[in-house]
Chain A
Amino acid sequence: MKIYDGGKIFLGLLVFVALATFPFTYNMVMGKGTKAPEPKTDTPAIQEWEKVNGKKECVESKDFMRKEHMQLLNNWRESVVRDYNRGYISTTSHKRFNMSLQNGCMTCHSNKKKFCDECHTYMSVKPYCWDCHIQPEEKEEAKS
């Protein structure tokens, strides 16, 4: 079987594939987009917690928080604003936590850049928490 203009067709296809996959190959070669995010949980408050309690623990298990924190925060907000509930009792540690983003979560996770933004930027999600809530003050890293 002979393909008319086979050379041109295959060359064209090759160019098309190269162009279409350029964003992926570019990132692979440059190594920027492929680097998995590494959120840090090493703030002074968390280290202090680890010292006192013997382990790092959040409101719920790490897996759960990773997957469901957005829903958890939504439920917290409803509960705080509409039912006056302020305390959340963990299903894992049975400790009581203050249901508050600014006065709860961020007192431990005071490293918004390395904790929140690390993944959110990678996943290109833009939660609007900080449009209103005041983020903890962070020292600029001494790199620049």
Chain B
Amino acid sequence: MSMDRRSFLKIAGISSILGFGASVASATHTIWQKGLEPPQVDKNKEALIAKRWAMVVDMSKFKTDEDVKQVITACHQTHNVPDFRNADGSVNKKDEIKWIWQASYERAFPGQDNKYMSEHMKEMPFFVLCNHCDNPPCVRVCPTKATFKLPDGITMQDEHRCIGCRFCMAACPYGSRSFNWRDPRGTNPNGEPFIKNENKEYPMRTKGVVEKCTFCTERLSVGKLPACVEAAPKGGLLFGDMEDPNSEVRKIVTNQYTIRRKSDLGTGPAIYYIVGGSDHA
């Protein structure tokens, strides 16, 4: 078959227009547009909103071990955090997943301890969790933006996007991030599941992703306070908007002496600790 240049160009031109047009037409379909915008999507009306979420920890309100334990249990229960244990019932430190846990003064506030401190203070187990920093090193190093900053100050983690490189774990100065070395859906040597009484409203994680405290974003958006705050004795853990001058957390931080973990690193942690005071001087 022979074809002159004119008809060849005509056919080529028409087919490229058709091809290009079809790809444009399919790309303009609503669902392929980048992101969903209101009014297509909206926030829950009951959602709690703030400019800067922050927490105040007052350890003096925790009188018994039971008070302490129920906070950790509440958090880990709500978020399906696995409990990796060895056959003898001891905690498997290497694989442990931690959202909220306890640390001694020396560990929580290194460099601020001294040898004349009261034994009570030295041994008090402080609650430690993700500090939801103003300037989080984990976010800076994440190659996939799996961890990122929400506009209300929460350092959020999207496990869908996590590739398990663990840069964030190396970057976080608080050890707030845990890697899933093993499948949290498994069972321990005694045949008990790692996650007992799973919360069916919250996902689990999978082997190979990093997880951490999310300040209960899923609870905030249905108008609930974080699980730990709810489970703590009154005033033990306070949660609120630090940018709101009338909020409880702001008043405490303004009027009382509070310290933050490793604030000299410049990460701007948002967990404030009331240390000392009348209850345990």
Report whether chain A binds chain B.
yes
Residues of chain A touching chain B, judged by Cβ–Cβ distance below 8 Å, are 64, 68, 71-72, 75-79, 81-89, 91, 96, 99, 102-103, 128, 131-134
**Are A75 and B217 in contact, with the CB atoms below 8 A?**
no
Q: Would A134 and B43 count as touching, CB distance under 8 A?
A: no
B148, CB-defined interface residue at 8 Å? yes
Contacts of B160 in A (CB 8 A): 77, 81
Q: Which of B25-64 contact A (CB under 8 A)?
A: 29-32, 35-36, 38-44, 47
Q: Which residues of B contact A64 (CB under 8 A)?
A: 31
The main secondary structure of chain B at its interface with chain A is loop
Known: A68-B31, A79-B36, A132-B206. Is A85-B201 also a contact (CB below 8 A)?
A: no
Residues of B within 8 A of A91 (CB): 30, 40
Give the CA-CA distance A129 to B199 in the complex, in Å: 17
Counting CB contacts under 8 A, is B68 at the interface? no
Main secondary structure of the interface of A (DSSP, over half): helix
Residue of B29, B31, B43, B204 touching A84 (CB-CB under 8 A): B43
Report whether B43 and A102 are in contact in the complex, using a CB–CB cutoff of 8 Å.
Answer: no
Give bound CA distance, A133 to B198, whole Å: 11
| A85 in contact with B42 (CB, 8 Å) | yes
Q: Can you report 11 residue pairs joining A to B where beta carbons are below 8 Å apart? A: A71-B32, A75-B31, A75-B35, A76-B36, A81-B158, A84-B150, A84-B221, A86-B42, A87-B44, A88-B36, A89-B40
Q: Mark B146-160, 1 if CB is under 8 A from A, else 0.
A: 001010000010111
**Other-chain residue from B32, B200, B206, B221 in contact with A102 (beta carbon distance below 8 A):** B200
Across the interface, do B221 and A89 meet the contact criterion of CB distance under 8 Å?
A: no
User: CB distance B43 to A85 under 8 Å?
Assistant: yes
Known: A78-B36, A82-B158, A91-B40. 9 other contacts (CB 8 A): A83-B35, A84-B150, A85-B38, A86-B43, A86-B222, A89-B40, A102-B203, A103-B201, A133-B204
* Docked-complex contact A88 and B40, CB < 8 angstroms: yes
In the complex, are the beta carbons of B41 and A134 less than 8 A apart?
no
Is B107 part of the binding interface, using a Cβ–Cβ cutoff of 8 Å?
Answer: no
CA distance A81 to B158 in the complex (A): 7
Contact pick for B42, options A76, A77, A87, A134, CB 8 Å = A87
Evaluate whether A89 and B32 lie within 8 angstroms (CB atoms) in the complex, with A132-B159, A132-B205 already known: no
The smallest C-beta distance from A35 to any residue of chain B, in angstroms, reads 30
Instruction: Please name all residues of chain B whose beta carbon is closer than 8 Å to the beta carbon of A68 when the two chains form the complex.
Output: 29, 31
Contact A84 B47 (CB under 8 A): yes
